[in-house]
Structures are given as structure tokens and as C-alpha cells.
Amino acid sequence: MVRCFIGIFIPEECKEAICKLQEKIKRLPIKCKFVERENLHISLSFLGEISEEKVRKVERELGNLVNEFSSFKVKCKDILFIPNKRYFRVLALDVKEGRNILIAISNEIKRRVGGDVKPPHLTLCRVKKVLEKEVVIKSLEKEESSISFIVESIDLVKSTLSPKGPIYQVIKELKLP
């Protein structure tokens, strides 16, 4: 069995801005587990533990699916408090531009191969404890970080859990036409 998800990795040229935002969050009265620089991505579908046979089926279906979409622009900005501001367990950048295309791709993946699909976002960290909620919310609501990039491929990714965090390995990169 292989723990897998389908996602879009963030280009290297955008990671510096994201890491600067993570550094700002580290200075707030909050304790978090930050997504590692090399793991920054937008998830399209979390497949969980699947068999090698299912991995091959997913590869084939994704190969067909990518031909139905073209490269497109994504812009992420504004902090998302997930599930909400009263009780947030995740801080993420919201996808503003390209959102509808990501939703269409995610829905098509769910229809063809399944998985758990969430609204598009770029996770920054998982929240362990908020020490001063109002300070954190006010500070992050004022945050103006944004990144833009062209999505040129979708990846089928193996995720191996380790004590230091997940280790991601691309099983198959599928280029958009």
C-alpha cells in the first residue's frame, strides 16, 4: 500500500515569499508545525493508502485528464483560517485566481479516481496551540503576501510519514498541454 495524494507543487521562485510569511507567523503568539519548503503544494485530492494496482489506474486516469486542461495562472493571497476564525487548526494562503479551474480539476479527479477533495488552498502550517487568538487574527488579517505562478503540471505523489514530517516523492508528473 502507498499513501498518495494528487497536487501541484509550488515553483521554487515563489517559495521565498511563502517562507518569509511563515517566519512572520513564527513571531506571533501561536505554536505551529510548518510545511517544509520542499513540501509546499496545493492539494487536489488526498487518496490515502492505495494499492500499487490503484496507483497505476490513477496514473492512467490522470494521463487522460491532463489533456482536457491547459496551463493556467494561480494567484494565492490572503490568510485562510481553517476551518474558521473561531477555531482554526490550519493557516493557509487562499487561492484567488485559478480557483475555478482547480475546483474543476479536483472534481474531475474525485469523479474518476476518488479521494478527499477540499477547497483549493496552500497550507502554511498546522496549528497546535493559539496563545493570543485576537493578536494572531488581527496580525494575519493585515498580511498582504501573495504569490502567482503558472500551473504547468499535476503530480501524483507518494507521502511517507516520518518523525520529522512527511517525505514526498513524485510518482508521476503529468504535464498540462
92-109: pLDDT as tens digits: 999 999 999 999 999 999
Q: What's this model's pTM, rounded to 2 decimal places?
A: 0.92
**Which residues are known catalytic residues?**
41, 121
- Strands, E assignment, 55-160: 72-83, 88-97, 121-130, 146-151, 153-160
> Which CATH number goes with the domain that contains 148?
3.90.1140.10
Per-residue pLDDT at 58:
96
130-158: pLDDT as tens digits: 999 999 999 999 998 899 999 999 999 99
Residue 36: alpha-carbon gap to chain centroid: 12
pLDDT > 90 fraction of the chain, expressed in percent and rounded: 95
pLDDT band at 115 (very low <50, low <70, confident <90, very high): very high
Per-residue pLDDT at 3:
96
If one counts the domains in the chain, the total is: 1
Type of residue at 119? P
**Residue 32: domain span:** 2-175
